Every structure is written in C-alpha cells, then in structure tokens.
C-alpha cells in the first residue's frame, strides 16, 4: 500500500468533507444529508449529495467518492498529489515508506517535471525581459501603459528571437528534449533538430489556483503569424478548463484578504478576450478580471467560474465572433447558475483601450449600466427584424417568446412577458398564453430526453467506464451487486471460499475492481478509500454508485452474496456456450448430451 490505512483514516478525519466541498459548492441541509449543484456537470436542480458516512455522489452525472476523490477530480490531481494537498491543508506529515515506489510513478514524475520546467522557463523569460536583449519587449509593455509593478505581479517575460535559447537553459537543468516537447516548450524539426516553440514574443505565464505555472501565451514582436501563440494541452494544462489570471481573480471574488478595488469581495468576475485586457483591468483596480485562452468560454470554464462568482460581466468584441462568444457565455453560465451581464465597450475596441481613453471610473459606470443577458438577447432579436412589416414582427415575437419560455424562474418570465408586450404592443395575455404553451412543450421534451438517457444508462449504451457491460446487461448488473456487497462488508471476502474468481467476471472493469479488492484484502484489509490509488475519479464514481445502490437495499447478508455468485456463473456460462447455428449436427448432439449428463 502506498500509505498506511491509519494515515488515510486520520487524513479523512481531519479533512472534513463538508468543509472541503463547501469551498467549491454551496451546500444546504436536506435531512441528514447535504445537497448542492454538482461542480462536475451543469445543472440547476441540485443532485449532488454529501452523505453522513463522509462520501459524496451525484445522481445526475455519477460522480462520487470520498474527500480524496473529490480533490483529485476538482483540482485535477493524481492520488499522491491529492493526498499531499489535503495533508498540507490539515497540517499533517505524509508518511514515506522506505523503498516505496508510488503507483503511476511515470505520470506523477511527468507532472512534477512539467511544473518544474514551466517554473524555470517563466523565470528565464522574466530575466530575458529585464535584460538588454529584452528591451523591445519591455518597451512594448511600457508603451501599453503597464507599470513595472504590474509586470512583476503577472510575471511577464520575453522569449528571445532565438531557436535554442530556452532549449539550452532547460538542457542545462537536466531536462530531455522529449520532456520539453511534452510541455510545449520545444519542437523538433523534420531534420530532428530541437527548436524553441516561443521566439521573439512577449510572454504571459498561465498560473493555476495552486500557484503552479502550467502554460504560456506569447505575443509576437513582428508581423509573424500567429500573432498570439498559446500552449497546447500538456500533462498539467487543459485549455478548456483554465483561465488566465484566475489565480489572482479568485481571491477578489471570494473576498480574500488583500483584495483591492471597489468590486473586490463582491462575487463578481469580468471575462475578457485577451491577456492585455485582463492586465489593464487589474492595474485599474478591477482585480476580478480573467480571460479565456484564445477561444470562447467552454462548459468546463463556466463551472470553474461558478465556484468563485455569482455575476459575470462579459466583455468581448462587438463583431460577429464576439456576438457568438456572448451567446456561448450566456448559455453555459445559465447552466451553472451564474448571472451574466453584457458589457458593450463603446468608443474603444476593448477594455484596455477604453480605460486608457476614459479612465477606471468610466469603466465602473459601464459595468453599472451593463445589460442583463435577457435584455441583451431581446435587443439582438429585435435588431434582426423590421417591426413595420407584419410578417417580420411576427417572426420577432416568435423568437422572443421562445427565448422567454426557456427562462427557469417563473417570476423572471413574468417580467419579460411585460417587457415584450411593451416592445411590440401585443397584449400581455396573448404573449403569456403562447409562452405557457412553449414552456409545457419544453418540459415534455426534457422529460423524454431524461427518460431516454435513463433507459440507455440501464442498458449500458455508450458506457465509457465499463464498455463490456453491453455484452451481458444482467451479468454486469450482477457483478455490480456483488462488488457493492463487498464494498459494504469487506469481511465477506473471507466467506467466498472459492465461490468466486476473477475469471468468473464477464466485464474487464468489474474484474479489475474485484481483483484489486482481493489483493488489498490479502495485504491486510481495505475500505473504499483504498481504491483511490488504483482508479481514476471517473471510475471511482462508478464504484461509489455500486456501493450506494447496494446500501439502499434492505437485505445484504452472506446468503445474497452466495446467490449472486451463482447467478454470475450462470450468465458467464451462457456467454461461453456455443451457438447452435455455428455448430455441425454432430457437435450440437454432443453438446446437448453433455448438458443432459450434467443435470443427472
């Protein structure tokens, strides 16, 4: 075992699941449990439950586990790093067994090496910026109005116009070309020659909420393309899940000590397109500003934002691409319950230029007058049609009614029914009747989709965790009941007495779970937490689902386990039996005779 079971129990005891999850999810009491909106998928009706036995489960997406699983999934950490993360927070030391080699050593080492490489690269880039060779980059930043203090605060740097400047530095520090390539710091030419990925660029380090440098963005100093180059995904960086400057903005949004600016500690965040917009806003006192990394906001980024902000001000360009990005932001933020306000920066092309021209106070007034998402979308719809033409007016009303029918809050719907009536001159009752019909239809469609999804789940269609389950639904369900019983009562493992072996399992995933439990039991016992080291957080969600489903049943004695083992063997035999159409008459007769003999 990687860690003594006594240490894991102490770690879980000192890391209150309610407190840890409460930092990310707003929980409320529901009987003996706590419930909230799941941080792992988008939902408005809470299906995420924290149970008294110190584990959690989402009945919507199937995420589940204990406090270690939660941190692994929430902070994108492997098992040893999640243990270390919780131990540091609890103020206890992690035991180190002599000669112990952690599970997944290669992956762990890769992450650690990536973090170290990025830290060295960031320091090297910053040193370049402050050297004579970085004068052009430094002058560019100063010309953009950035102060030396804000340059240091964001750790900005400069990549020299050289093919091997960073490569030489990292080689001196003991890193291989393969490691540099994996971290998107170097590439390899067709002739096998290493080269720096970032050259002649002002560098913007991307830092995670734990303070690790995980990636870079670079703005070129000449007319080369692309103008901005961002790191691709690496072992420590996923573009769809990260935001530039979130490491700083989160402190303002959550009211951390030291937050500055009028809008600090208010649960408000500003979403921009570019690095310079974010840095200019922070310099002007708007320390809740973040940026997506060269793309429109993603569902993963929306869930990250929802951990820190109740209101999101979106400030994208007003061109077609910007409008599409606004729509995506509204959609994904609605799904996670974050209020969206659209900032229209008039008289300037972006927040950076606006603040330079009009000052921070004018931008603050711009935020105060920002239109809510429904007002914004209604004005966008109205602008598409000529209201003097009856057919176009009708099309506008139909599109607006479809929008209002999708609003979750009945009270909010009422407000916008009256707003639409004022805009169009159509009576409130007529609009309300149409929206009521659309709302009923939407509800019906959603129920149908949920029912279809539930049916597919029961039949294991598209099961990514256990794809073999489709071969024998009954066999897979029997396996899950067996594993659920063993998770509830590990001591039952001693009672199997040869009644169940790995080869009796039909599906690879369930066989792997059983094999792991059996091995841990032989080494001195286990509980469900012991499996965190051997399975991914997504797989742990399935394992906890087995545990919860079995725990909900009344009868869970050893007799039930024995019967389930017999049923599984029968299901396995059915699958292994030869099909009649594939046999000759002689083979079929011999098979029937063997089965008849077995029944005597």
pLDDT tens sequence across 337-351: 788 888 888 888 889
Final residue before a domain boundary, out of 433, 457, 481: 457
- Domain match, 414 and 498 both: no
Sign of CA dihedral 295, 298, 303, 306: positive
> How far lies 161's CA from each of 135, 167, 177, in Å?
12, 13, 20
Is residue 315 classed as helix, strand or coil in its secondary structure? strand
Choose between 119 and 416: higher pLDDT: 119
Q: What is the DSSP string of 461-493?
A: TT-SS-GGGGG-HHHHHHHHHHHHHHHH-GGGG
Determine the pLDDT at residue 99: 44
285, part of any domain: yes
Which range is least confidently modeled, 101-115, 120-134, 322-336, 464-478?
A: 101-115
Which residue range is the domain that position 213 belongs to? 106-237
Domain stop point among 340, 373, 406:
373
pLDDT class of 360 with cuts at 50, 70, 90: very high
Structural domain count, the chain: 5
Residue 321 sits in a domain whose CATH number is: 3.40.1360.10
**Same domain (yes/no): 369, 388:** no
Q: What is the pLDDT of residue 346?
A: 83
Query: Which residues, in sequence order, are CB contacts of 528 under 8 Å at separation 6+?
Result: 55, 66, 487, 543, 544, 547
**Does 557 lie in the same domain as 530?**
yes
Residue 99 lies in a domain: no
Instruction: With respect to residue 349, please indicate whether it lies within any of the assigned structural domains.
Output: yes
**Structure confidence by residue, pLDDT tens digits, 51-90:** 887 889 998 888 999 999 999 888 878 888 888 889 888 8
Mean pLDDT of 394-402: 92
471 and 452 within one domain:
no
Structure token pair of residue 74: 């929430």
What rounded mean pLDDT belongs to the chain? Answer: 84
- Do both 442 and 491 map to the same domain? no
174 lies in some domain: yes
Query: Do 518 and 442 reside in the same domain of the chain?
Result: no
Is residue 567 one of the residues assigned to a domain? yes
User: In this structure, is residue 379 part of a structural domain?
Assistant: no
| 226 and 171 within one domain | yes
Sheet of strand 33-36, all strands in order from the earlier edge strand to the far edge = 28-30, 33-36, 48-51, 55-58, 64-65
Is 489 among the domain residues? Answer: yes
Shared domain check, 189 and 67 = no
CATH of the domain at 559: 1.10.860
Each residue of 213-266: pLDDT tens digit? Answer: 999 999 999 888 899 999 999 988 989 889 999 999 988 775 433 333 444 345
Verify that 363 and 397 share a domain, yes or no: no
What average pLDDT does range 142-149 have in this prediction? Answer: 95
Domain boundary among 316, 349, 373: 373
Secondary structure, 3-state, 281-310: HHHCCCCCEEECCCCCCCHHHHHHHHHHCC
Q: Span 502-531, mean pLDDT?
A: 88
Q: Are strands 311-315 and 339-342 parallel, antiparallel or unpaired?
A: parallel
| pTM score of the predicted model | 0.64
- Domain assignment present for 192: yes
pLDDT at 540: 92
């Amino acid at each position: 075992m990687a860690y003594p079971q006594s240490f894991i129990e102490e770690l879980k005891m000192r890391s209150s699941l309610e407190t840890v999850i409460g930092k990310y999810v707003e929980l409320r009491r529901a009987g003996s449990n706590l419930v909230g909106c799941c941080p792992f998928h988008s939902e408005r009706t809470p299906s995420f439950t924290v149970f008294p036995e110190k584990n959690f489960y989402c009945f919507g997406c199937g995420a589940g586990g204990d406090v270690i699983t939660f941190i692994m999934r929430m902070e994108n950490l492997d098992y040893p790093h999640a243990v270390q993360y919780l131990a540091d927070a609890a103020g206890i030391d992690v035991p180190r067994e002599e000669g112990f080699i952690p599970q997944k050593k290669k992956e762990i080492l890769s992450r650690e090496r990536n973090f170290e490489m990025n830290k060295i690269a960031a320091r090297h880039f910053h040193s370049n910026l402050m050297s004579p060779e970085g004068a052009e980059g430094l002058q560019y930043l100063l010309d953009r109005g950035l102060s030396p203090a804000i340059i240091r605060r964001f750790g900005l740097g400069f990549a020299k116009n050289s093919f091997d400047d960073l490569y030489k530095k990292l080689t001196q520090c003991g890193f291989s070309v393969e490691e540099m390539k994996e971290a998107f710091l170097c590439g390899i030419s067709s002739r096998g020659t290493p080269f720096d990925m970032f050259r002649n660029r002002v560098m913007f380090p991307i830092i995670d909420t734990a303070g690790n440098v995980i990636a870079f963005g670079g703005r070129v100093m000449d007319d080369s393309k692309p103008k901005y180059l961002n790191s691709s995904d690496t072992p420590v960086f996923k573009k769809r899940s990260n935001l530039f400057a979130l490491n700083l903005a989160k402190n303002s949004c959550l009211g951390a000590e030291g937050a500055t600016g009028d809008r600090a500690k208010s649960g408000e965040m500003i979403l921009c397109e570019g690095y310079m917009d974010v840095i200019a806003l922070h310099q002007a006192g708007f320390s809740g500003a973040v940026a997506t990394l060269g793309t429109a906001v993603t569902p993963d980024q929306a869930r990250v934002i929802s951990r820190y902000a109740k209101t999101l001000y979106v400030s994208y360009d007003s061109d077609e691409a910007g409008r599409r990005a606004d729509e995506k932001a509204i959609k994904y933020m609605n799904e996670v319950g974050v209020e969206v306000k659209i900032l229209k920066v008039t008289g300037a092309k972006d927040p950076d230029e606006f603040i330079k021209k009009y000052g921070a106070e004018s931008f603050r007034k711009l935020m105060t007058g920002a239109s809510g998402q429904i007002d914004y979308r209604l004005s966008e719809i109205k602008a598409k049609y000529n209201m003097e033409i009856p057919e176009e007016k009708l099309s506008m009303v139909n599109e607006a009614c479809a929008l209002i029918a999708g609003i979750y809050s009945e009270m909010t719907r009422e407000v916008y029914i009256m707003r639409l009536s004022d805009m169009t001159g159509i009576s409130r009752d007529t609009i309300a009747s149409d929206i009521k019909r659309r709302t009923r239809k939407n509800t019906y469609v959603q129920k149908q989709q949920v029912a279809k999804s539930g049916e597919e789940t029961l039949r294991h269609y598209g099961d990514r965790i256990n794809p073999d389950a489709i071969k024998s639904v009954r066999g897979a369900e029997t396996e899950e009941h067996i594993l659920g019983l063993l998770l509830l009562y590990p001591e039952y493992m001693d009672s199997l007495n040869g009644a169940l072996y790995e080869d009796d399992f039909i599906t690879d995933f369930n066989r792997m779970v059983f094999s792991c439990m059996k091995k841990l039991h032989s080494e001195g016992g286990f509980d469900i937490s012991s499996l965190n080291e051997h399975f991914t957080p997504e797989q742990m969600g399935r394992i906890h689902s087995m545990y919860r489903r079995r725990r909900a049943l009344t009868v869970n004695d050893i007799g039930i386990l024995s019967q389930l083992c017999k049923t599984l063997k029968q299901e396995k035999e059915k699958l292994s039996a030869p099909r009649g159409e594939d046999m000759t008459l002689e083979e079929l007769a011999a098979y029937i005779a063997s089965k008849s003999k077995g029944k005597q």
